[in-house]
Amino acid sequence: MYISTRDNYPAVSAAEAIKLGMVPTGGLFVPQDIPVLTQDELNLLVGKTYQEVAAKILALYLDDYTSGEIAGCIYNAYKGNFAHKEITPLHQLTDSTYILELWHGPTAAFKDMALQLMPHLLSLALQKLKVKEEMVILVATSGDTGKAALEGFKDVPGLRIICFYPYKGVSQIQERQMVTTEGENTYVVGVEGNFDDCQNAVKALFADEAFRSFLAEQGFALSSANSINWGRLLPQIVYYVFAYINLIKEGRIKLGEKINFVVPTGNFGNILAAWYAGRMGLPIHKLICASNENKVLTDFFRSGVYEKNRPFKQTISPSMDILISSNLERFLFEMNGRDAVSITTWMKDLQEIGHFAVGETVQKAINEILWAGFATEEQTLATIKEIFTKYGYTLDTHTAVGMKVYEQYVAETGDETVTVLDSTASPFKFTASVLEALTGSQLTLRDSLNDRNGTTEEFALLKELSRKIDMPIHPALQDLEKKPILHQRVCPKGKIKQEVCNILKLEL
């Protein structure tokens, strides 16, 4: 069963938690009991395929799904849509550093790992719960989630998906990926605001009971595909286990040996999945939480004070440009001994005054498992160049933030533990910045990020990058500029509710 982090809702089944997305009265669903993966079970997984590992992990969390249903979902999610047969291959960089490539899916970013699977879990949940309403999936995206969700939900019967992104706040390639999405049930809206504006507006709609009952009367129900949905988090636990057993298989570590994971972090979903893997029994020494110049998490983990009142920066790792990390609530719930009362107070403070403080005990509990740091824009670019020059391996901007923070971690701690760095996007997804890092020449970076009507420069750069790093363009990004633009909606940040009504052809 799944319970609310704010103890304000009855416990629900996995299907119900996935259907609801977040707790209707505020708060997030977490598993009431975190299942255990014993060392024996872990050992038995060595040599298994990604799909087999996924079946094992999912079954531990979804006891209202049959093993046949789980197998079907996994089959559909990871059959031909991934460009690598291992799904998430490990690339060895040094004796002790490995890169976990999470971007071989259909949109070239790690969010495919969850979003190729989650719609199947949701669609089954709706059947199980005999839901009659048409589900409307609302997504707020900082760039990558949007396309990954659109691809995952495209043409799934009984569902529509509406995706909000910060207009002029994502890369040209990210935007083009979204606005060329096909499917009868997909809608894409540029919002005149930043990612937090999009996310807050979507959260407000979920919390708006009058609006929800109005929709229900018209035959619609809302759900979310953001990483606050348990159905998004669960599939991400799988690749941490898979990476670990692959290191055993290759003879790099022994069963039971602890390793580190470095995670380029935004909404705190990916790193939280690593934490769940650890709590289940996966031997983890440290989780290294890497931020860009929007370093609200680094400051929080170092001071115990979460302060969102600060300037929002648009960076070259836009999928991490976040000032409110939604999944942190789940982590804090586990770190404070599951005390829903303080979670409720902290989240209320965050919403009303923009900050909260967790106190020494919680901070200490966090620091035992987690180390946080951030990389500046210059450091990120320099790291891409450095790793390419030293190892001939190309990092995208987000992964480079992770690499830089890992270097800082090693410099500060001297830790030599085997470490896996999550690579969250293909370098081709952020071509302009990667090329700028490699060539040192100032490309029209800012312009291509900001100017919707600018040249198609970033697409031409794909070929240039491909030549430079001697690697084929990621299949998801080939011929993108030739695809027709199918979505043109733009709305002010205060008008998101109205936009939803327009799309559903409803009068408020």
- Min. distance of Cβ 319 from ligand PLP in angstroms? 3
Three-state SS annotation for 377-435: HHHHHHHHHHHHHHHCCCCCHHHHHHHHHHHHHHHHHCCCCCEEEEECECHHHHHHHHH
- Min. distance of Cβ 115 from ligand PLP in angstroms? 11
Q: Using the minimum distance from each CB to ligand PLP, give the nearer residue, 12 or 320.
A: 320
Q: Using the minimum distance from each CB to ligand PLP, give the nearer residue, 105 or 266.
A: 266
Residue whose pair of structure tokens reads 């929800």 in the numeric block: 212
**Catalytic option among 19, 48, 85, 111:** 111
Q: What angle (nearest 5°) sits at the alpha carbon of residue 10, between those of residues 500 and 224?
A: 25
State how far the Cα of 68 lies from the Cα of 194, in Å rounded to an integer: 42
Binding site for ligand PLP (CB under 6 A): 109-111, 144, 227, 264-270, 319-320, 398, 424-425
- Min. distance of Cβ 296 from ligand PLP in angstroms? 12
State how far the Cα of 294 lies from the Cα of 310, in Å rounded to an integer: 9
Q: Using the minimum distance from each CB to ligand PLP, give the nearer residue, 5 or 9.
A: 5
- Min. distance of Cβ 192 from ligand PLP in angstroms? 22
State how far the Cα of 397 lies from the Cα of 152, in Å rounded to an integer: 24
State how far the Cα of 128 lies from the Cα of 362, in Å rounded to an integer: 39
Please give the C-alpha separations between residue 502 and each of 147, 226, 244, 317, in angstroms, as whole numbers: 22, 22, 48, 32
Q: Using the minimum distance from each CB to ligand PLP, give the nearer residue, 193 or 264.
A: 264
Q: Using the minimum distance from each CB to ligand PLP, give the nearer residue, 111 or 120.
A: 111
Query: Is the Cβ–Cβ distance between 377 and 294 less than 8 Å?
Result: no
- Min. distance of Cβ 181 from ligand PLP in angstroms? 17
Pairing of strands 90-92, 134-140: unpaired
3-state helix, strand, coil in the chain (%, to 5): 50, 15, 35
Is 111 a catalytic site residue? yes
Q: Using the minimum distance from each CB to ligand PLP, give the nearer residue, 106 or 264.
A: 264
Short-list 293, 316, 312, 289, CA closest to 398: 316
State how far the Cα of 68 lies from the Cα of 272, in Å rounded to an integer: 28
State how far the Cα of 508 lies from the Cα of 501, in Å rounded to an integer: 7
Catalytic residues: 111
